[in-house]
Structure 1
Amino acid sequence: MLIDNFYEVVNLEETTANQYTALVRLNTTHDVFKGHFPNNPVMPGICMMQIIKELSESISKCELFMEQVINVKFMALINPEKCNELTFSLQVDEVDEIVKVKSTIDFVGTIALKMSSTYNKK
């Protein structure tokens, strides 16, 4: 985990072939939220992207290096004080040393992020 104690994976399961769902609980008292932004905490986009990478590493069982983000859309702000549990949906396709991931993050039916990314296995 890049940022200690920032989140915990409550559940990670394969729902169908190459499709995964993860329930992630944010640590609402983490220092990241104190600085981004004071009195109005918002989940940083780069942290969302990092969690997707780390979940993809758990799924592929190897370290990954982000090679390319083909498309990323930040669609809603995540305030951890209002909702600290997020659902990550990932489609993970592995071909040789390449891992392609299509992902979404949502909370209470609101999509916060959509991303397509490519990783190299280290």
Structure 2
Amino acid sequence: MLFPNLYHVEQLSKNDSNLVEAVVVLNPAHEIFSGHFPNNPVLPGVCMMQIIKEITEQVVAHKLSLVQSNNIKFMALINPEVTPILRLELEINEIDAGIKVKNTTYFNDVTALKLSSTFKIETV
């Protein structure tokens, strides 16, 4: 985990196809929120992208490197003090030498983020 104690995965479920749903609980006391932004904490977009990468790594059981992200739409601010529980829907597909992920992230009934990313499988 790149940012230890920023979040924990409360639930992770995969159906028979390539759809995954994860419930993530943010830690509002994490130090990252003291600088982003004081008295008005917001989850940085790059942290949200990292969470998506880490959940995908857990599902596919491989370390991944981001190759490309497109169609990134941050649609609502995520304040961990107000809405610490996020629901992520991931469509994960294997492609030539990597993984393609389409993600939609929600809090309550609000869509917070939509993105598509391509990852390379790391070889050790």
TM-superposed deviation, 1:72? 0.4
CA distance in 1, matches of 2:90, 2:3: 21
CA distance in 1, matches of 2:100, 2:17: 14
Partner residue, 1:83: 83
Which structure 1 residue ranges, 5 or more long, are not aligned?
Answer: none
- Which amino acid counterpart does residue 30 of structure 1 have in structure 2? H
> Where do residues 97-116 of structure 1 align in structure 2 (5 Å cutoff)?
97-116=97-116
TM-score, length-normalised on structure 2? 0.95
Partner residue, 1:11: 11
Greater displacement, 80-89 / 13-22: 13-22
CA RMSD of aligned residues (A): 0.8
The percentage of aligned residue pairs carrying the same residue is 48
Structure 1 runs (4+) greater than 6 angstroms displaced: none
- Which amino acid counterpart does residue 106 of structure 2 have in structure 1? D
TM-score, length-normalised on structure 1? 0.97
TM-superposed deviation, 1:48? 0.3
- Which amino acid counterpart does residue 64 of structure 1 have in structure 2? L
> Where do residues 1-122 of structure 1 align in structure 2 (5 Å cutoff)?
1-122=1-122
Which structure 2 residue ranges, 5 or more long, are not aligned?
Answer: none
